[in-house]
Amino acid sequence: MNHRFFQLAASSLIVLAAWPALAQGLRPSGQAGSAFGSVSAAAPAPVVARQADFIVAIVNSEPITNNEVRTRLARLSQQLAQQGGPQPSTAELTQQVLERLILEKAQLQIARENGIKVDEAAVDQAEQAVAAQNQIDVPELRRRVAREGLPVTRFREELRNQMMLTRLRERELDSRVKVTDADVEQYLRQQQNETQKAPEGLNLAMLLVAVPEGAAPDQVKTLQAKADALLVRAKGGADFAALVREASDAPDRTSGGVLGLRSADRYPQLFVDGVHDVKIGGYSAVLRSAAGFHILKVLDKQQSGMPTAVPQNHARHILLRPNAELTEAAAVERLAGFKRRIEAGQVEFANIAREYSEDGSASQGGDLGWSSPGQFVPEFEEVLNTLKVGQVSNPVVSRYGVHLIQLLEQRELKLTPKEQREMVRSALREKKLDESYANWVDEVRARAYVEMRESPQ
């Protein structure tokens, strides 16, 4: 279980709002990701008027029809309209949709040739995940799908296709990517240089004792003494926001003088230098500028660079591996029965795991130990991250089989240098997989025999 795999944002691959964009089999971009999380309950998508259908392209002997293009185009147009902003012309969108369909057909053909299959139990789980992400139940999801003009059977087929494509890409790409120690060292050197150049993020609160232009030396001395006395009060435990409202001459005094979180290059250099060695919650010395005397409180400091801590989960699981005698659906049903008995207090999770689990952790009662983000495959980890401490999941289908998961504990762990290096290794692997994926898509497109027929209408 604890292997790092190419994460293709499995949740995004099974979210209805992403369907038109993802059915191409392309990896979704980060920018579009925010639109993938919900199923609209608003007005239905425009109904595509059916007309005499015809073939617009042939992909390795498999046809793409005009109605396929028109249906996909209507959904993509609706999605772009919901996102707002400028849209491509209809001609450009039509060409994009056709190319997506070509890539989808070509990849699905490869998946079938390689014997990749997704059974009904996995599709059921995907459908439940879509509903859960949208905080609705499956019947309501199906009503919304139908209301948007997509037959439920077709929706489920799209979910199946996306899971097939995900498994194909993992199979094709995982072995292509290697990250060496030299890669990690180079990344760390670059990160260190960028960190040294990058300004800190600072959130400061300021109290200003203004000095009028052309003030006499005695007046300046009096105002400085006032600022010194205010700093003594602040360091003595007085509420700084109250001091600001009481004594500051700055226009933002009503808000407690909070200047907000911003990069250091957006603050005067006097301020940046003045708080350089000040910890969060501490105060600068009295600083002199042309405007007067400033007292700064450091509310927050953020420095770019490698994370120093990571959230961790302590979980256990029961794994059943489908085989000739045990179908995936039967494994799901058996684990669902285990869950009912565990929650009813009839059996202990650990005892069931020892007796039935087909994972190496069975002898430890299914205990997987502490795990960091990215340690498990996406379909497992996404469910784990939704659990509350003590909660047992519904059966979860992954490439390893079917799991029943229980979250035992959570914590935040300070990273050792070795663990930071492993995080770097994972980040580099993801980057290389992105590049490898782009090249692989080009290869698939180049190998496919594509015959263009009539233009879509």
Domains of the chain: 10-178+436-452 (1.10.4030.10), 202-302 (3.10.50.40), 309-414 (3.10.50.40)
- The reported pLDDT for the residue numbered 354 is 95
Higher pLDDT, 232 or 78: 232
pLDDT digits (tens, 9 = 90+) for 141-182: 899 888 877 889 988 998 999 889 888 888 888 777 888 888
| 72 in Cβ contact with 456 (< 8 Å) | no
- The reported pLDDT for the residue numbered 14 is 30
Spatial neighbors of 445 by CB under 8 A, at least 6 apart, are 102, 103, 106
Higher pLDDT, 350 or 419: 350
- Asked if pLDDT for residue 20 goes beyond 50, the answer is no
Higher pLDDT, 457 or 232: 232
Higher pLDDT, 84 or 91: 91
- Asked if pLDDT for residue 6 goes beyond 80, the answer is no
Average pLDDT for 43-71: 75
Calpha distance 294→110 (Å, rounded): 68
Q: What is the band of 21 on the pLDDT scale with cuts at 50, 70, 90?
A: very low
- Asked if pLDDT for residue 402 goes beyond 50, the answer is yes
DSSP state of 198: S
Higher pLDDT, 422 or 106: 106
pLDDT digits (tens, 9 = 90+) for 269-315: 899 889 988 888 999 999 999 889 999 999 888 665 566 677 889 99
DSSP state of 199: P
| 397 in Cβ contact with 328 (< 8 Å) | yes
Provide the token pair at 187. Answer: 């990344």
Quick one: how far is CA 83 from the chain centroid?
18
Calpha distance 151→409 (Å, rounded): 42
- The reported pLDDT for the residue numbered 220 is 93
Average pLDDT for 415-427: 79
- The reported pLDDT for the residue numbered 187 is 80
Spatial neighbors of 70 by CB under 8 A, at least 6 apart, are 48, 456, 457
- The reported pLDDT for the residue numbered 423 is 78
| 116 in Cβ contact with 171 (< 8 Å) | yes
Spatial neighbors of 293 by CB under 8 A, at least 6 apart, are 208, 209, 211, 223, 224, 226, 227, 286, 287
| 294 in Cβ contact with 199 (< 8 Å) | no
- Asked if pLDDT for residue 42 goes beyond 70, the answer is no
Spatial neighbors of 408 by CB under 8 A, at least 6 apart, are 314, 315, 316, 367, 389, 390
| 320 in Cβ contact with 326 (< 8 Å) | yes
Q: What is the band of 71 on the pLDDT scale with cuts at 50, 70, 90?
A: confident
253 SS3 class: helix
Residue type, 247: A
What's the mean per-residue pLDDT of the chain?
A: 80
Rounded to the nearest 10 degrees, the angle between the axes of helix 90-113 and helix 417-447 is: 100
Higher pLDDT, 55 or 169: 55
For a pLDDT cut of 90, what percent of the chain falls above it? 31
Q: What are residue 65's DSSP bridge partners?
A: 55
222 SS3 class: helix
* Of 223-237, 243-257, 300-314, 321-335, minimum mean pLDDT range: 300-314
Burial status of residue 368 (CB atoms within 10 A of its CB: 0-12, 13-18, 19 or more): buried
| 33 in Cβ contact with 9 (< 8 Å) | yes
Give me the DSSP letters along 237-267. Answer: T--HHHHHHHH--STTGGGTTEEEEEEGGGS
Buried b (16+ CB within 10 A) or exposed e, 104-118: bbbbbbbbeeeebeb
- The reported pLDDT for the residue numbered 363 is 92
Calpha distance 126→131 (Å, rounded): 9
For residue 278, the tally of other CB atoms under 10 A from its CB is 16
Average pLDDT for 266-271: 86
Quick one: how far is CA 199 from the chain centroid?
26
- The reported pLDDT for the residue numbered 192 is 67
- The reported pLDDT for the residue numbered 36 is 29
The length of the chain in residues reads 457
- The reported pLDDT for the residue numbered 109 is 93
- Asked if pLDDT for residue 26 goes beyond 70, the answer is no
* Of 9-13, 248-252, 316-320, 402-406, minimum mean pLDDT range: 9-13
Q: What is the band of 136 on the pLDDT scale with cuts at 50, 70, 90?
A: confident
pTM above 0.75, yes or no: no
Rounded (to 5) percent helix, strand, coil in the chain: 50, 15, 35
- The DSSP H or E segment spanning 402 is strand 401-414
Average pLDDT for 88-100: 87
pLDDT digits (tens, 9 = 90+) for 179-216: 888 888 888 777 766 555 545 678 899 999 999 988 99
313 SS3 class: strand
